[in-house]
Amino acid sequence: MKYLLKGGTVISGLDTLKADVLIEDEIIKEVGKKIPEEDATVIDVTGKYVFPGFIDAHTHFDLEVSGTVTADNFNTGTKAAIVGGTTCVIDFATQNKGETLQEGLDNWHKKADNRSSCDYGFHMAISEWNPHTSEEVPHMFQEGITSFKLYMTYSSRVRDGEIYEVLKRIKEYGGIVGVHCENGELIDQLIAEQKKEGNFSPSAHPVSRPSCIEAEAINRFLTIAKLVDVPVIVVHLSTKEGFEVIQRAAEQGQKVYIETCPQYLLLDESKYYLPGFESAKYVISPPLRTKEDSQCLWKGLKEDKIHTLATDHCSFTLKQKEMGKDDYTKIPNGMPGVETRAAVVYTYGVLEDKISLNQMCRLMAENPAKLYGLYPKKGTIQAGSDADIVVWDPEYQGKITAANQMQNVDYAPFEGYNIKGRPEKVFLRGQLLVEGGKLLKENQGKYISRKRGSL
Ligand code: URP
Ligand code: ZN
Ligand code: ZN
Ligand code: ZN
């Protein structure tokens, strides 16, 4: 199949260019002015932006949390993703305690293979580090896993010594480690205190996980990374305090990448004081913060000090959230977002001049592609790259509502938000899969074996 996208505005991380894009089979064949039509199917994209397919490097599909499984699996989650303009996700293949990394990886392939509607790769989340796990590392690279994840909180948390050992080992192979930075031991103490005082409602959630809990963990993680002398990434950064810790390390020459998510930019802690059990929707970790924190993160994005914008999509229905009706610590943590990221970032970021179109492209396509070893196959519109393309209609107007979302959840964190702009067409490796918000064909996604990245 040959398509010629004619008359659009092609967005890259650095430029905005009026150009045609020729797609042949799975690949972008040519980008240029007035490409001859020949035998291609011509699509007039005048007045539209042409973005590389967006990459969401932080999703949790089909993940077991607190004795339940996320509402979105790879089938529903990746359908929502591609309709929202995301053509590749990097999900967290998770080693459960007692498992080998290979078992964790095999398990994730079973969940994802043949049922994904966008392309996908995996980070490996390590919850147990031992001599055998260490031996498995080179094999993970052969399997296309070049990034790893550690938690400093939850039951899967690792100790400082383990973080040190993992960083040393991954450094040998040129991979990158991302960490969920929150001090798990202190959180346990603060939770116990809240319960002792009789606070069992979601309003106790942010009290159990204050900003300093994130900032302290970041500082400790970066201290370890400095000892090992290796670049690292802090995932889902939520606080100004944490941001400042990272900037101090960066000023001293340390290479630290930052990921944040739309919820930390647009929602705040007032959500924990909603009537009834409404607040449970926003029980995520790290929790929502203050407006001042959000402002700091927007500024960090504007100044290119924050490198990627992902969703941390980890969805649970209200019924599932009800598990914590009498005890907020039993509410499965997480919220949906994989479907709405681009529309929300465009409407509330680009149109409000908080970031540019090119920054949107960098944060959601080019940078994650580079950082995680997908570039230039993905994350860019140039000859030879995969034809993962979003034709963005800047004139579309709509409203986010749970009633018409693809995500398999019965609420939308951004319910009622007005949206300007949406993906009008989405191509995945040259196949037109989304048109006018409708998915034309499912299960076309492939596993992407990744190389070592660098940004
Ligand atoms: O609450 C959240 N974010 N759940 C997903 C797991 C994680 O911490 O990334
Ligand atoms: Zn193998
Ligand atoms: Zn996390
Ligand atoms: Zn996460």
In the DSSP assignment, the letter for residue 447 is B
Average pLDDT, stretch 337-356? 98
Residues 102 and 148 grouped into a single domain: yes
Q: With the CA atoms of 23, 24, 29 and 31 taken in that order, what torsion angle do they form, in degrees rounded to the nearest 10? A: -20
Please give the Cα distance from 119 to 117 (Å, whole number): 7
What lies within 8 Å, CB to CB, of 223 at 6+ separation is: none
How far does residue 277's CA lie from ligand 2's centre (Å)?
45
As for how many domains the chain has, the answer is 2
Q: Find the 93 Cα to ligand 4 centroid distance in Å.
A: 11
ipTM field: 0.93
H or E segment and range at residue 211: helix 211-228
Note the maximum CA span of the chain.
74
Q: Are residues 269 and 345 in the same domain?
A: yes
Tens digit of pLDDT for each residue in 43-60? 999 999 999 999 999 999
State whether 320 and 390 are in the same domain. Answer: no
The percentage of the chain sitting over the pLDDT mark of 90, rounded to a whole number, equals 100
pLDDT range class, residue 330, cuts 50, 70, 90: very high
Tell me the two tokens of residue 26.
Answer: 């799975």
Residue 451 included in any domain: no
Q: Which residues neighbour 160 within 8 Å (Cβ) at sequence distance 6 or greater?
A: 220, 224
What is the rounded average pLDDT of the residues 217-233?
98
Averaged pLDDT for residues 273-296? 97
For the chain, what percent of residues have pLDDT higher than 70?
100
- Ligand 3 mean position, distance from CA 16 (Å): 34
Specify the 3-state DSSP secondary structure of 171. helix
73, part of any domain: yes
Q: Is residue 447 part of a domain?
A: no
The residue whose CA has the least distance to atom 5 of ligand 1 is: 334
- Mean pLDDT, rounded, for 253-277: 97
Ligand lying closest to the C-alpha of residue 150: 3
With the most atoms of ligand 1 within 8 angstroms of its CB, the residue from 154, 183, 284, 330 to mutate is: 284
Does 137 share its domain with 204? Answer: yes
Distance CA 259, CA 290 (A): 18
What pLDDT sits at residue 161?
97
SS3 382: coil
Nearest residue (by CA) to ligand 1, atom 2, is 334
Task: Write down the pLDDT at residue 263.
Answer: 99
Neighbour count for residue 34 (Cβ, 10 Å): 9
Q: Which amino acid is at 273?
A: Y
Across 354-363, average pLDDT: 98
Residue 332's SS3 state is coil
Which residue, chain included where needed, has tokens 């100044």? 303
- Reply yes or no: is the peptide bond before residue 287 cis, omega within 30 of 0: no
Helix 101-112 vs helix 131-142: angle between axes, to the nearest 10 degrees?
A: 40
Reference 411, options 319, 324, 274, 348; nearest CA is: 319
Q: Using only C-alpha atoms, what is the Rg of the chain?
A: 21
Shared domain for 60 and 209, answered yes or no, is: yes
Q: Which of 344, 371, 398 represents a domain boundary (last residue)?
A: 371
**Is 454 a member of any domain?**
no
Rounded-to-integer distance, Cα 378 and Cα 375, Å: 5
Question: Are residues 86 and 176 located together in one domain of the fold?
Answer: yes
Mean pLDDT score, 188-216: 98
Average pLDDT value over all residues in the chain? 98
Q: Name the burial class of residue 124, with classes exposed (0-12), middle (13-18) and buried (19+) by CB atoms within 10 angstroms of its CB.
A: buried
CA 38 to ligand 4 centroid distance, Å: 46
Instruction: For residue 258, give the CATH number of its domain.
Output: 3.20.20.140
In a domain, 161, yes or no: yes
Instruction: Give the pLDDT band (50/70/90) at residue 292.
Output: very high
For 73-107, write each residue's pLDDT tens digit.
999 999 999 999 999 999 999 999 999 999 999 99
Question: Of ligand 1's atoms, which has the minimum distance to the CA of residue 314?
Answer: 5
Asked if the structure places residue 41 within a domain, the reply is: yes
Residues with CB under 6 A from ligand 1: 60, 180, 284-285, 312, 314, 333-334
What residue owns the CA closest to ligand 1's atom 8? 285
Least confident interval from 154-158, 240-244, 368-372: 154-158
Q: Are residues 28 and 141 both part of a single domain?
A: no
| Spatial distance between the Cα atoms of 401 and 372, rounded to a whole number of angstroms | 32
What is the average pLDDT across 3-29?
A: 98
Q: How far is CA 431 from CA 12, 20, 199, 391, in A?
A: 21, 17, 52, 13
Q: Hey, is 373 helix, strand or coil?
A: coil
Atom of ligand 1 nearest to the CA of 58: 9
Domain that includes residue 45, residue range: 2-51+379-439
To test the pocket of ligand 1, the residue of 151, 285, 330, 331 to mutate (highest count of ligand atoms within 8 Å of its CB) is 285
- The reply to whether 256 and 350 lie within a common domain is yes
**Which of 342, 371, 400 is the last residue in one of the domains?**
371
Where residue 18 sits, what CATH number does that domain have? Answer: 2.30.40.10
Residue 345: per-residue pLDDT: 98
Atom of ligand 1 nearest to the CA of 283: 1
337 lies in the same domain as 267:
yes
- Do 116 and 10 lie in one domain? The reply is no
- Residue 347 in any domain: the answer is yes
Distance 314 CA to ligand 4 centre (A): 7
Same domain, 58 and 28: no
Same domain, 174 and 104: yes
Q: What is the reported pLDDT for 172?
A: 98
In-domain check, residue 446: no
**What φ, ψ does residue 43 adopt, rounded to 5°?**
-120, 120
Confidence of residue 451 (pLDDT cuts 50, 70, 90): very high
Residue reference for tokens 């709405």: 340
Per-residue pLDDT, 105: 98
Nearest ligand 1 atom to the CA of 285 is 1
| Cα–Cα distance list, 270 to 52, 240, 275, 278, 402 (Å) | 35, 17, 11, 12, 21
Band the pLDDT of 241: cuts 50, 70, 90: very high
Which of 347, 371, 395 terminates a domain? The answer is 371
* Nearest Cα residue to 364 out of 385, 353, 350: 350
